[in-house]
Chain A
Amino acid sequence: MANFPPSDGSTDGHEPRDGSERQASGVEQSDLELVRRVQRGERGAFDLLVLRYQHKVVKLVARLLRDQAEAEDVAQEAFVKAYRAIGSFRGDSAFYTWLYRIAVNTARNSMASRQRRPLDYESDLNESEQSAVESRMRHGDTPEAAALSDEIHRTVNGAIEALPEDLRTAIILREVEGLSYEEIAEAMECPVGTVRSRIFRAREAIDRSLKPLLD
Chain B
Amino acid sequence: MGRLSVIVAAGALVLAAPLAGADPPTARQWLERMTESLASLDYDGLFIHSAGSQFETMRIVHRVEDGRSVERLVSLDGSGREIVRTAEEVHFYMPDRRVVLVERRTDPGSLLKALPAPGAKLDALYTLELRKGRRLLGRDVQVVDVRPRDAYRYGYRLWLDEASAMPLRSEVLNGAARTVESIHFTRLDLGKAVDPRALQPGVDATGFQWVRAGRRAEPPVAGAGWMPRRVPPGFRLVASRSQPVPGTPVRMQHLIFSDGFASVSVFIEPAPPKGPAPPESASVGSANAYSTQVQGHMVTAVGEVPPETVREIANSVAPLEGGTPAASAAATPVDR
Indicate yes or no for A touching B, C-beta below 8 A: yes
Interface residues as binary, A118-140 with B (CB distance below 8 Å gives 1, 0 otherwise): 10100000000000000000000
Provide the bound-state CA to CA distance between A180 and B203, in Å.
35
Shortest CB distance B97–A (Å): 10
Shortest CB distance A36–B (Å): 14
Shortest CB distance B203–A (Å): 7
Provide the bound-state CA to CA distance between A175 and B116, in Å.
57
Provide the bound-state CA to CA distance between A121 and B180, in Å.
18
Shortest CB distance A87–B (Å): 5
Partner of B77, one of A87, A102, A109: A102
Provide the bound-state CA to CA distance between A13 and B204, in Å.
28
Chain A interface main SS type: helix
* Residue B321 is within 8 A (CB to CB) of chain A in the complex: no
User: Which residues of chain B are near A102, meaning CB under 8 Å?
Assistant: 77-78
Known contacts A85-B95, A88-B203, A90-B202; is A118 also within 8 Å of B53 by CB?
A: yes
User: What are 11 contact pairs spanning A and B, CB under 8 A?
Assistant: A85-B79, A85-B95, A88-B75, A88-B78, A90-B202, A101-B57, A105-B56, A108-B54, A111-B53, A112-B53, A118-B53
Interface residues as binary, B73-102 with A (CB distance below 8 Å gives 1, 0 otherwise): 001111111000000000000011000000
Shortest CB distance B181–A (Å): 15
Known contacts A85-B95, A88-B95, A88-B203; is A120 also within 8 Å of B80 by CB?
A: no
Shortest CB distance A46–B (Å): 16
Provide the bound-state CA to CA distance between A102 and B53, in Å.
13
Please name the residue on chain A nearest to B52 by beta carbon. A112
* Residue A92 is within 8 A (CB to CB) of chain B in the complex: yes
Provide the bound-state CA to CA distance between A87 and B81, in Å.
11
* Residue A81 is within 8 A (CB to CB) of chain B in the complex: yes
Shortest CB distance A44–B (Å): 22
* Residue A53 is within 8 A (CB to CB) of chain B in the complex: no
Within 8 A of B (CB), among A77-122: 81-82, 84-85, 87-90, 92-93, 98, 101-102, 105, 108-109, 111-112, 118, 120
Interface residues as binary, A1-26 with B (CB distance below 8 Å gives 1, 0 otherwise): 00100000000000000000000000
The reply to whether B77 and A101 contact each other, CB–CB distance below 8 Å, is yes
Interface residues as binary, B53-78 with A (CB distance below 8 Å gives 1, 0 otherwise): 11111000000000000000001111
User: Which residues of chain A are near B79, meaning CB under 8 Å?
Assistant: 85, 88
Partner of A109, one of B54, B55, B75, B203: B54
Shortest CB distance A7–B (Å): 19
User: Which residues of chain B are near A105, meaning CB under 8 Å?
Assistant: 54-56, 77-78
User: Which residues of chain A are near B96, meaning CB under 8 Å?
Assistant: 84-85, 88
Given contacts A88-B95, A88-B203, A101-B56, 15 further A-B contacts (CB under 8 A): A85-B79, A87-B204, A88-B75, A88-B78, A88-B79, A89-B80, A93-B76, A98-B77, A98-B78, A101-B57, A102-B77, A102-B78, A105-B56, A108-B53, A111-B53
The reply to whether B53 and A85 contact each other, CB–CB distance below 8 Å, is no
Shortest CB distance A199–B (Å): 33
The reply to whether B78 and A85 contact each other, CB–CB distance below 8 Å, is yes
Instruction: Please indicate which of the listed interface residues B53, B54, B202 has the most CB atoms of chain A within 10 Å of its own CB.
Output: B53
Please name the residue on chain A nearest to B59 by beta carbon. A92
The reply to whether A87 and B95 contact each other, CB–CB distance below 8 Å, is yes
User: Which residues of chain B are near A118, meaning CB under 8 Å?
Assistant: 53
Shortest CB distance A23–B (Å): 22
